[in-house]
Chain A
Amino acid sequence: MFFLQASENTIGLSNVLVFGTIGMFAMAITLVSVVVLHQRRVIRFNKQLQKLEEEKQQMLLNASIRFQEEERQRIAADLHDDAGPLLATARLYLNENLIHQEPAVQLQSIFSAKQIIDDSIQLIRNISHSLMPPTLKNFGLESAIKDLFEKINGSGVINASARFHDNRERLNEEQELLVFRIIQELVTNIIKHSCAGFIHLTQNVQGNFSYFRIHHDGKGLLQSEFQKLNYNSTGLGLKNIESRIKILKGSISFDIDSTHTYYKVTIEVPREPNK
């Protein structure tokens, strides 16, 4: 009986040893497998993120190139369709036969040619202003925006106003142009799509950042809608806004106020003071 008990005891301990060893070994293997599988998953996920980021960059680059091409085509069309015929007409007035004409006719022709040349100069000036607004270059962002808003107010359809709280130190020229283009694009979108009754822009400075906030009472965009449209839409406007924001190293956010009355677009720009 004693031997039987002793042998049962030994078998029990032997089982503990075998199962304990197998259990510990299995635990170690499981732990290692979890680490390896998890890390593989993380790396795969990171690669996917990287790929998406590359795709987005590529899309922005394409948008930027397309935008440049469209801008060039527009300028070419303006020059070809407007300036070209005007100058050709002026040339007709000033042809070789003019010297054989009566002095009164000569004067009339010269006067007409002068008028046409003045129109051409105005047209070229308009094209030039659309490329780089002179107010922005000479008087800064505040004046350029107020100028833009005055033109919008002139239409009588929408009320646009701007208030700059702290513009003692201007952004550098490049930043001002980029911010102006972004605001121009946003305001154009508001006018085209939102059916807003008013647009109000405020500017403020906090620390090393300038903030531009546009309020309007139309149907605006939320951040998620902006991301979605930016990714899916074939239009260039939002993509250009995003690429300009990237160049500025700033950020843009779209939201709605707590009363769900006004939509807000906030642009944050790190300040690089004008040299």
Chain B
Amino acid sequence: MGYYFQNIHRVNYFFILFALFTIVEFSLFCLFYYFVLLPGLMKKFILPIWILFTSFACIDFFFINKMNDFDSFAIGIESILIILLCIYYLIIQLKVSHDLLVYSTTNFWIIITFLIYLSGLFFLYIMAENMIQDKAFRVQYTIINSVFSILKNTLLSIAFLMKSSPEKIELQKNDDWSDLHSYTLKN
């Protein structure tokens, strides 16, 4: 496939992979947010957000970048959206008072993984489109990307190694999260 795009269409297939990765990454995050974490009110917005972003990423890739450039704009928007959704989750955690410490839940570690990873790489992504040809930048790109990838994998490992007792699982699936209306009433 790489050969096909590289030689027949004269397109750098790395850029196709980057664009695909952006869409898949955002879609999986939305799916995770939709099924595991989302309260009632935000659940209505997640599908339109996903549709809008996916459409935008496709338009950016096919018509603005014309399949020949790093998709900084799309990744920048994706990072901002994911960071905002993570901040929203953390704000809800501030408001909802659990008996369970927030850092003893898997969801929290997954969310902070996304938050830290995309915050750290945000500037790298938005500058990549203009500077990807610069050798010094490529070195920096590799270093920063590797550092945050290691950090991401470490945090995700912690998330998946978290052991939840049955009560903790119950608390993680808090009703407050599945129904924002009742949460608002209670608070």
Query: Which A residues lie at the B interface, using CB under 8 A?
Result: 10, 13-14, 16-18, 20-21, 24-25, 27-29, 31-32, 34-36, 38-40, 42-43, 46
Q: How far is the CB of B95 from chain A (nearest CB, A)?
A: 10
Asked if A42 and B97 sit within 8 Å, CB to CB, the answer is: yes
Q: Which residue of B lies closest to A39 (CB)?
A: B102
> Is B161 located at the chain interface by the 8 A CB criterion?
no
Q: Do A25 and B116 touch across chains, with their CB atoms under 8 A apart?
A: yes
CA distance A31 to B136 in the complex (A): 31
Interface string of B110-130 (1 = CB under 8 A from A): 001001100111111001000
The answer on a CB contact under 8 Å between B127 and A32 is no
Whether B115 lies near A28 (C-beta < 8 A) is yes
Among B20-28, B64-72, B86-94, B163-171, the one that faces the other chain is B86-94
Would you call B140 and A32 a contact (CB within 8 A)? no
- Give chain A's interface secondary structure class: helix
Query: Which chain A positions have C-beta within 8 A of B120?
Result: 21, 24-25, 28
Q: Are B103 and A31 in contact (CB under 8 A)?
A: no
A18→B141 CA distance, assembly (Å): 10
| Chain B interface, number of residues (Cβ within 8 angstroms) | 27
CB 8 Å contact bits of B72-111 with A (1 = contact, 0 = none): 0000000000010001001001100111011100000000
A29 touches B116 (CB 8 A): yes
Known contacts: A10-B136, A32-B90. The answer to whether A17 contacts B97 by CB under 8 A is no
Q: Is the CB of A31 within 8 A of B90?
A: yes
CB-defined contacts of A29 to chain B, threshold 8 Å: 116
Interfacial residues, chain B to chain A (CB-CB below 8 A):
83, 87, 90, 93-94, 97-99, 101-103, 112, 115-116, 119-124, 127, 131, 134, 136-137, 140, 144
Q: How far is the CA of A36 from the CA of B111 in the complex (A)?
A: 13
In the bound complex, CA of A35 to CA of B124 (Å): 26
Chain B residues, CB < 8 A from A10: 134, 136-137
**A43, B115: Cβ atoms under 8 Å?**
no
Q: Are B116 and A35 in contact (CB under 8 A)?
A: no
Known: A14-B136, A21-B144, A28-B116. A39 touches B94 (CB 8 A): yes
B123 touches which of A17, A34, A36, A38 (Cβ 8 Å): A17
In the bound complex, residues from chain B placing their C-beta under 8 Å from that of A34 are: 94
B residues less than 8 Å from A16 (CB atoms): 123, 127
Q: Tell whether, in the assembled complex, residue A13 and residue B94 are in contact, meaning their CB atoms are under 8 Å apart.
A: no
Which residues of chain A come closer than 8 Å to B87, judged between CB atoms?
31
